[in-house]
Amino acid sequence: MSSLLTQKTKLTATDLPKMDIFYSVLLGAGLTAAFFFFKFPHFLQDCRYIMSMLWVGSKREKFRERNYTLLDSFLDRVQKQPHKSFIVFGDEVHSYLQVDQESNKVARALQAHSGSTMALMLGNEPAMVWILMGLFKINCAVSLLNTNIRAKSLLHCFNCCTSSVLIAGAEYREVVCDVLPELQAKRVCVYVLGDDGGVEGLHNLAEKIERQPNTPVPPSLRENISMNSPALYIYTSGTTGLPKAGLVLHSRLINSSLFLSMLGVKSDDVLYIPLPLYHAAGLQIGLAGAIELGITVVLRRKFSTSQFWKDCRKHDVTAFQYIGETMRYLCNTPETDNDRQHKVRLAIGNGLRADVWHDFQRRFGPLEITEFYAASDGNISFVNYIGKVGAVGRVNFFHKKVFPYALIQFDAEREEPARNNKGHCVPVPTGETGLLVVKITKVAPFAGYAGNPEQTEKKRLRDVFQPGDVYLNTGDLLKIDHSNFIYFQDRVGDTFRWKGENVATTEVADVLGMLDFIEDANVYGVKIPGHEGRVGMAAVTLKENLEFDCREAFNHVTGVLPVYARPRFIRVLESMELTGTFKQVKVKLVKEGFDPKVVPPPLYVLHESSRSYVPLTQTYYSSIVGGEIRF
C-alpha cells in the first residue's frame, strides 16, 4: 500500500503509462475487495465477533487468576459509582450503595447460616438482588426456585440441593405453608420476606433484616469461596418431567456476566428485565451482566403487555431482554400512535420467530434485535451478531475452533442420536436439521445437575466421532444454512416423527400463527393405535371476538404444509398454559390426546373430502382408533 502511495506522489502528466499501471492496480484491488465482500459479506462483522471473543476470553482469564467473583464485581461498582441507580422497580430507585447496604443487613440477619445452601422462592423485586449479594457475602450458595412450582414439585426442587433454609416472598406464604410439615420434618428453617401470619414454624425475615446495622460483615466469612464453589442452582423449565437443578459455579457466573456486552449492551444503557430472575436469562445474563457493566436495571415483577412500553418510556429504557412469546404478545396488541415513541435501541433474547421479528420491527422499530442461543444447562452459545432475521447465530471459524460442536443425525422415534455401523454419530449435511452436540473440554466444561447423576450422565454423549470422546447432548435441534447462519429448530422432545418424517412443532405453530384468527398455537404429536410415530395435533387460542374458521384453516394448512406435518386434530383452548418462562406446556395436552370424551369441544379433525376441518364426533373418533379410518 505504501509503495502505491509513494508512486502516486511521483506521478506527473507525462507519466501516462505509469498512471495506467497505477489505475489498473487500484482497479484490481477494488475488484478483489468487491469480490471478497461479495463472497464474504459479513467478513468485518465476523472479525469483530472474534475480537470480542478474544476480549471476553482474556477478561475471563483475569477473573480466574484473581479469584474474582460476581460479588467482587459488584463491590467494585459500589466503590466506583456508589450513587448511580442500580435497581429501578416501579417508583422505587436503589443506588449501588443502597443495594450494598441492604445486602450487609441481609448478611448479618442470616450470618448463622453462613456456608450453607439457601433456597429462594422470590419473584422479581429489589430484595432479591440484595438477598443474593448478601448471601454471597456469607459464603452461601443460592438455589433459585421457580415461583410457579407447588407442592410435590416444590419439595422435589427443594430437595435437589440439600438446602437447610428456605426464603419465600410474602406472596408465597400460603404455598410454603402447604409443604411446611414436610420441610419441618427435615428441620428446614423457613423464612418469609414479610409477615409470617403468626404461623408456627415461619419466621419473618423482613423484620429481622430491618433490625440489622448496614455495615459490612467481615470478608473472612467468605474466605472459603473459590471459583469452583457453587454459586447458584438454576432449574431447567419443567416442560418435560420434573425440573432439574443446573449447578452454576462462581467461575461460570462471572464468566457469563460478560455475555451481555457481547450482545451489544453498553455501559450507558438502561436495561429492562421483564423475565424471571430465577432463570439463567434474567439472572446470569441480565442481572450479572448489568453488574459487570455497572448499568441501571429496570425490574418488573412479571412481564406485562400493557405496561411494557409505558415502563420503557417512563424509565428511558434503551435495551431489553425478551423471549419469543413476549415479543408475540407485544405484536398482538392494537396499534397505537406512539408505538415508536421510546428510546429502546436494542432487544436481546431468544425464540423470536421470523414473522414476529418482521412485525415487531415494522411497528416498534427500527431497533437492533440480537438473538442468541444459550441453554441454561448447555455449555455453548451462539450470537446472531449480523441481525439476520430468524437466525440464532452464525458459524464462525474461530468460535468453532474454541468450542468444537457438531450437528448430528437424530432418530426421533427412538429419541436418541443415530449411529452408523461403526457405532459413531453421523454429522448432518449443510441445510439439514441435526442435534447439537458440543465437545466437553476445559474451556467448555459441563457442571451437571445437582443431586442427579443419572440426568447428568444422560446429557453426556460418548464415542461420538471417536472411541472415548465425550460430548454434551444439548437436546436442541439446529440447522446451518449455506450462508453459515444457524437456526434453532426445536427441542428434541418437541419434534415428532410421522410417515417417516420429522415434524418440527414450532414450524407448524408458525404456520398456524399466520392465520389471522389464531392468537397462539401449541403443536405436538399424538399416538394413534396402529400407526407408527405420532400424528400432528394443535391446541390453539383465538384472538378476541374471532371464530375458528374451519375452511380457511384447512385451505391454509393444506396449502402451506406438507401432508405429514399437517395437524390432523385441532382443539381450541380458552388460554394457553405456560411455564414460568412462558414456554408452552405440552405434556398434559399430549396426554389428553384427541378423545372427545376427554377433550372439551371445540375439537376438530382435518377432513379431506369435505375440504375442511370438521368437529370430531365420538363415532368418527372410534373409527380412527378402531382402525377403520387410516391416515
- Residues 67 to 86 in contact with ligand NAG, rule: CB under 6 A: 67
Q: Dihedral of CA 392/397/401/402: which sign?
A: negative
- Residues 126 to 145 in contact with ligand NAG, rule: CB under 6 A: none
**Rounded CA separation 568/591 (Å):** 16
Closer of 202 and 440 to ligand NAG (Cβ): 440
Q: Which long-range contacts (CB under 8 A, 24 or more apart) does 90-96 make?
A: 92/126, 94/126, 96/294
Q: Is 402 in the site for ligand NAG (CB under 6 A)?
A: no
Q: Give the total of residues touching ligand NAG (CB under 6 A).
A: 25
Q: Is 112 in the site for ligand NAG (CB under 6 A)?
A: no
Dihedrals phi, psi of 151, to nearest 5 degrees: 40, -120
Q: How far is the CB of 193 from ligand NAG (least distance, A)?
A: 26
Among 381, 522, 581, 584, binds ligand NAG (CB under 6 A): 381
Collapsed DSSP state (helix, strand, coil) of residue 187: coil
Residues in a beta bridge with 438:
405, 472
**Rounded CA separation 69/295 (Å):** 18
Residues in a beta bridge with 18:
none
Among 73, 117, 237, 255, binds ligand NAG (CB under 6 A): 255
**Rounded CA separation 444/402 (Å):** 9
Among 54, 443, 563, 629, binds ligand NAG (CB under 6 A): 443
Closer of 251 and 489 to ligand NAG (Cβ): 251
Q: Is 445 in the site for ligand NAG (CB under 6 A)?
A: yes
**Rounded CA separation 238/242 (Å):** 6
What the block records as the C-alpha cell of 524 is: 405436538
**∠ CA 352-146-176, rounded to 5°:** 155
**Rounded CA separation 87/96 (Å):** 8
Q: Is 288 in the site for ligand NAG (CB under 6 A)?
A: no
Q: How far is the CB of 376 from ligand NAG (least distance, A)?
A: 8
Q: Which stretch binds ligand NAG (CB under 6 A): 141-149, 245-253, 265-273, 413-421?
A: 245-253
Draw the binding track, 350-379, toward ligand NAG (x: CB under 6 A; -: no contact): ------------------------x---xx
Q: Is 218 in the site for ligand NAG (CB under 6 A)?
A: no
Among 108, 244, 252, 399, binds ligand NAG (CB under 6 A): 252
Bond before 601 cis per omega within 30 degrees: no
H/E segment holding residue 313: helix 305-314
Closer of 118 and 599 to ligand NAG (Cβ): 118
CB distance 215 to 137 below 8 Å: no
- Residue 56: name the closest of 403, 404, 486, 405 by CA: 403
Among 64, 266, 400, 611, binds ligand NAG (CB under 6 A): 64
Closer of 350 and 505 to ligand NAG (Cβ): 350
**Rounded CA separation 443/405 (Å):** 13
Collapsed DSSP state (helix, strand, coil) of residue 249: strand
Q: How far is the CB of 395 from ligand NAG (least distance, A)?
A: 16
By residue count, the chain amounts to: 631
- Cα 432 versus chain centre, distance: 23
Closer of 296 and 370 to ligand NAG (Cβ): 370
Closer of 79 and 226 to ligand NAG (Cβ): 226
Among 206, 221, 576, 625, binds ligand NAG (CB under 6 A): 221
Closer of 217 and 553 to ligand NAG (Cβ): 217
User: Interface residues with ligand NAG (CB under 6 A)?
Assistant: 57, 60-61, 64, 66-67, 115, 220-221, 223-224, 226, 249, 251-252, 255-256, 374, 378-381, 443-445
